[in-house]
């Protein structure tokens, strides 16, 4: 009996060590509380690390935390940062996660302006989540498969809009395993526009339930008999044309975008992300996401990420509109799921 009680106490103690106190983390990150070493170790342990004050990982955490506090105390910043799972990662680990392929080749294909888009007749605010066609935020894990989540997210929404049914959860793993012939590289990166080409060629995409996510590069096991959604072709937004991007986001549906994800973005908490130092070149694009709306009055896009609901604003972020921030309009695209699509 005493042994059972002892085990129970140990389990409770372990649980208290790993339980996160998000409110306390916010107080620390915003410079409202100066933490002791013991308190920092408790935060460190709550993310699953052994609380060793001499470990390189703990030193890295303290360095990044110092930068987060400095950022949040700067009144000129438009967005805030918080402690999250990326606060403990090295630059090499972050680079392997952000592995969208640069889109210089596809950008060159979209250089000519097709038409002029006037935004004055568009709604000031659009959010496709309110229409019930955006699926829950997913988590790509340690695989550089952001491009697959941007692709499935867009197709999930456009297929729901086309069919009038609730959106399906589609398979990212099928894209990781099977889309290599279309210049995609599984966990080492790819592009949504090239993924749409694959889906059209293959005949469709299975559901996540039929072809579940593993977050590793595996052999292709696509079963055409289980196709749940199809792509006729794709539409590529003219290179760096944000008016066209906004127009299609307002009138058609969510749009896959890709941009340069820099170090300060990883710890994003809220506000409108902007970084005048990031690149606007298609050569530097390294992360693909899904734009699901915009606010013309507030001057930002509403964007769905693939890092889980505990990141950012419940898995979403806002990014500055109108300046091609970090190259977000360099290689935007969305799937066409029926033959009567109007551009």
User: What backbone phi and psi angles, to 5 degrees, belong to 232?
Assistant: -80, -50
Tokens at 182, concatenated: 């279309």
Instruction: Tell me the H-state helices in 224-319.
Output: 242-251
3-state secondary structure of 210: coil
Residue 286 Cα distances to 99, 243, 327, angstroms: 5, 23, 10
Interacting residues of 23 by C-beta distance below 8 A, sequence separation 6+: none
Tell me how far apart the alpha carbons of residues 232 and 176 are, in angstroms, rounded to a whole number: 20
Q: How far is CA 256 from the centre of its chain?
A: 10
Q: Which of 158, 162, 287, 326 is catalytic?
A: 287
Q: Is 201 exposed, middle or buried (0-12, 13-18, 19+ CB in 10 A)?
A: exposed
Mode of pairing for the β-strands spanning 255-259 and 233-236? unpaired
Annotated catalytic residue: which of 146, 187, 278, 331?
A: 146
* Residue 314 CA neighbour count, 13 Å, CB half: 4
Rounded to whole angstroms, how far apart are CA atoms 297 and 318?
Answer: 13
146 is catalytic: yes
| Structure tokens that stand for 325 in this block | 């921030």
**DSSP-assigned states of every residue in 220-235:** ----GGG--B--SEEE
Whole-angstrom distance, CA of residue 60 vs CA of residue 130 = 40
User: Is position 305 annotated as part of the catalytic site?
Assistant: yes
Partners of 229 in beta bridges: 205
CA–CA gap between residue 249 and residue 329 (Å, rounded): 12
What is the β-pairing status of strands 125-127 and 79-81? unpaired
341 catalytic? Reply is no
With contact defined as beta carbons under 8 Å apart, do 196 and 153 qualify? no
Of these residues, 102, 275, 305, 326, which one is catalytic?
305
Give the Cβ contact number of residue 231 at 10 Å: 26
What residues act catalytically?
146, 287, 305
């Amino acid at each position: 009996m005493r042994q059972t009680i002892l085990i129970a106490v140990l389990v409770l103690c372990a649980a208290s060590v790993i339980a996160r106190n998000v409110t306390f983390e916010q107080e620390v990150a915003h410079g409202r509380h100066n933490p002791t070493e013991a308190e920092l170790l408790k935060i460190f342990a709550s993310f699953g690390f052994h609380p060793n004050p001499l470990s390189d990982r703990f030193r890295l955490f303290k360095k990044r935390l110092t930068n987060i506090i400095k950022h949040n105390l700067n009144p000129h910043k438009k967005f805030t940062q918080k402690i999250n799972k990326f606060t403990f990662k090295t630059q090499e680990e972050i680079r392997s996660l952000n592995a969208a392929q640069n889109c210089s080749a596809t950008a060159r294909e979209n250089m000519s302006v097709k038409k002029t888009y006037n935004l004055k007749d568009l709604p000031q605010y659009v959010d496709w989540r309110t229409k019930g066609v955006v699926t829950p935020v997913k988590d790509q894990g340690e695989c550089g498969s952001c491009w697959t989540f941007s692709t499935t997210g867009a197709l999930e929404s456009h297929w729901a809009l086309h069919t009038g049914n609730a959106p399906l959860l589609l398979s990212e793993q099928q894209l990781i395993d099977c889309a290599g012939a279309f210049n995609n590289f599984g966990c080492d990166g790819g592009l949504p526009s090239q993924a749409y080409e694959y889906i059209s060629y293959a005949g469709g995409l299975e559901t996540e339930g039929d072809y579940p996510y593993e977050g590793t590069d595996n052999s292709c096991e696509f079963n055409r008999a289980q196709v749940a959604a199809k792509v006729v072709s794709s539409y590529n937004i003219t290179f760096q044309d944000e008016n066209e991007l906004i127009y299609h986001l307002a009138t058609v549906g969510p749009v896959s975008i890709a941009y340069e994800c820099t170090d300060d973005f990883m710890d994003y908490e809220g506000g409108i992300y902007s970084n005048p130092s990031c690149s606007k070149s298609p050569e530097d694009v390294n992360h693909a996401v899904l734009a699901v709306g915009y606010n013309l009055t507030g001057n930002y896009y509403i964007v769905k990420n693939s890092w889980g609901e505990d990141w950012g604003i419940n898995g979403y972020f806002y990014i500055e509109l109108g300046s091609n921030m970090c190259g977000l309009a360099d290689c935007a695209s969305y799937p066409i799921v029926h033959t009567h699509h109007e551009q």
